[in-house]
Structure 1
Amino acid sequence: MCHSYFRWPRLQRFYQQNESYDWLKEFKTRHMVGQQIRRTVESISKRKCLTLKYYAKKILYFLRQQNILRNLKVFLERPPELQSALEGAVLVDQYCNPLADVTLESTSAQIEEITDKVKKNLRVKNATHPSLRFFFPGDCFVLENLEFQRQVICALNAVLYDQLQYKGNERDYYNPLNSYIHQVLLRRTGIPISLSVLYMTLARTLGVPLEPVNFPNHFLLRWCQNQRRWASDDIYDYVYIDAFGKGKQLAAKECENLIRHQVGADYYSAISTSELLLRMVGNLLNIGKRGEGNEKSYQLLRDSLDLYLTINPDNVQYLLLQARLYFHLGIWPEKCLCIFISVLVILIITVGLIMKHKRSGYNCVIYGWDPKCTMSQEWINTMRVHQLSKGADQPFYNVLVQDGTCRYAAQENLEPHSAPLEIAHPEVGRYFSEFSDTHYIANEELQARYPEDITVFTDERCLICAYFSPDSDETTFWRKQYYG
Structure 2
Amino acid sequence: MPEHFCEDELLFILNTDKRKSLTLKYYAKKILYFLRQQNILKRLKTFLEQPAEQQSALEGAVLVDQYCNPLADVTLSGISAQLDEIAEKVRKMLRIKNSSHPSLRVAQGDCFVVEDFELQRQVVCALNSVLYEQLQYKGNEFDYYNPLNSYIHQVLLRHTGIPISLSVLYMTLASKLGVQLEPVNFPNHFLLRWCQKPRGTEDIYDFVYIDAFGKGKQLTAKECEYLIGHQVTADYYSAISTNEVLLRMVGNLLNIGKRGEGNEKSYQLLRDSLDLYLTINPDNVQHLLLQARLYFHLGIWPEKVLDILQHIQALDPSQHGAVGYLVQHTLEHIQHKKHPATPEVKKRSTPEHLEVQYSVGLIMKHKRSGYNCVIYGWDPKCTMSQEWITTMRVHQLSNGANQPFYNVLVQDGTCRYAAQENLEPHSAPLEIGHPEVGRYFSEFADTHYSANEELQTRYPEDMDETLGSVQELYHRLTPGIENQDQAPATDRNNHEAMPI
Query: What amino acid is aligned across from residue 123 of structure 1 in structure 2?
Result: R
In structure 2, the CA distance between the partners of 1:186 and 1:41, relative to structure 1 (3 Å rule), is closer
Corresponding position: 1:177 with 2:36: no
Give the corresponding residue for 1:217.
Answer: 188
Name the structure with the higher helix share: 1
Report whether the alignment pairs 1:102 with 2:74. Answer: yes
Q: CA deviation at 1:37?
A: 11
CA pair 210-461 structure 1, distance change in 2 beyond 3 A: same
1:466/1:475 CA distance change after superposition, 3 Å: farther
TM-score computed with the length of structure 2 as normaliser: 0.63
Tell me whether 1:60 sits opposite 2:32 in the alignment. Answer: yes
Cα offset, 1:344, TM superposition: 1.6
Q: In the alignment, what sits opposite 1:204? A: 175
What per-residue deviation string (whole Å, max 9, x for no partner) do you get for residues 59-112 of structure 1?
000000000010000000000011001000000000000000000011000000
State the percentage of identical aligned residues: 72
Structure 2 distance, partners of 1:470, 1:120, is 64
Instruction: Give 5+ residue unaligned stretches, structure 2.
Output: 336-500
The structural deviation recorded for 1:36 is: 12
- In structure 1, the residue matched to 2:227 is 258
- Shift in CA distance, 149/37, structure 1 to aligned 2, threshold 3 Å: closer
**What secondary structure does 2:328 align onto?**
coil
Deviation at 1:470, TM superposition (A): 6.5
Query: Structure 2: how far apart are the matches of 1:43 and 1:162?
Result: 45
On the 8 A contact 1:224/1:231 being kept in 2, the answer is no
Number of aligned positions between the proteins: 332
- Give yes or no for the alignment of 1:76 onto 2:45: no
Equivalent-residue separation in structure 2 for 1:262 and 1:61 (angstroms): 44
Of 135, 140, 143, which residue of structure 1 is paired with 2:107? 135
Counterparts of 1:405-484 in structure 2 under 5 Å? Answer: 456=318, 460-469=319-328, 472=331
Q: Does structure 1 conserve the Cα–Cα contact (< 8 Å) formed by 2:180 and 2:194?
A: yes
What is aligned with 1:126? 98
Q: 1:156 aligns with which of 119, 123, 127?
A: 127
Report what 1:284 is aligned to. 253
Q: Secondary structure at the match of 1:241?
A: strand
Distance 1:43-1:175 versus aligned 2 partners, 3 A rule = closer
Q: Which amino acid aligns with 1:184?
A: V
8 A Cα contact 2:170 2:212, kept in partner: yes
CA distance in 1, matches of 2:48, 2:8: 35
TM-score, length of structure 1 as denominator length: 0.65
Is the 1:337–1:474 Cα contact (8 Å) retained in structure 2? no
Deviations 1:251-309 (A, max 9, x none): 00110111100000000000000000000000000000000111000000000000000
Structure 1 residue 463: deviation in Å? Answer: 4.0
Distance in 2 (CA, whole Å) between partners of 1:41 and 1:243 is 39
Residue of structure 2 aligned with 1:296, choices 265, 274, 282: 265
Tell me if structure 2 keeps the 8 A contact 1:323–1:339: yes
**SS of corresponding position for 2:327:** coil
1:161-199 Cα shifts (integer Å, max 9, x gaps): 010000000011110000000000000000000000000
Q: Which position in structure 2 is the counterpart of 1:145?
A: 116
Please report how far the alpha carbon of residue 466 of structure 1 lies from its aligned counterpart in structure 2 after TM superposition.
1.6
Gaps of 5+ in 1: 1-29, 349-455, 477-484
What secondary structure, in the 3-state scheme, does the structure 2 residue paired with 1:245 have? coil
Match of 1:114 among 68, 82, 86: 86
* CA RMSD, Structure 1 to Structure 2 (Å): 2.5
Q: Distance in 1 between the 2:330 and 2:81 partners?
A: 57
1:424-466, Cα deviation, whole Å (9 max, x unpaired): xxxxxxxxxxxxxxxxxxxxxxxxxxxxxxxx5xxx4454112
User: Residues 68 and 272 of structure 2 are in contact (CA less than 8 Å); yes or no, is this contact kept in structure 1?
Assistant: yes
Q: Which residue of 1 aligns with 2:201?
A: 232
* Equivalent-residue separation in structure 1 for 2:204 and 2:158 (angstroms): 34
Distance 1:148 1:346, change over 3 A: same
1:330 corresponds, among 281, 285, 299, to 299
Q: Secondary structure at the match of 1:98?
A: coil
Report the 3-state secondary structure (helix = DSSP H, G, I; strand = E; otherwise coil) of the residue aligned with 1:141.
coil
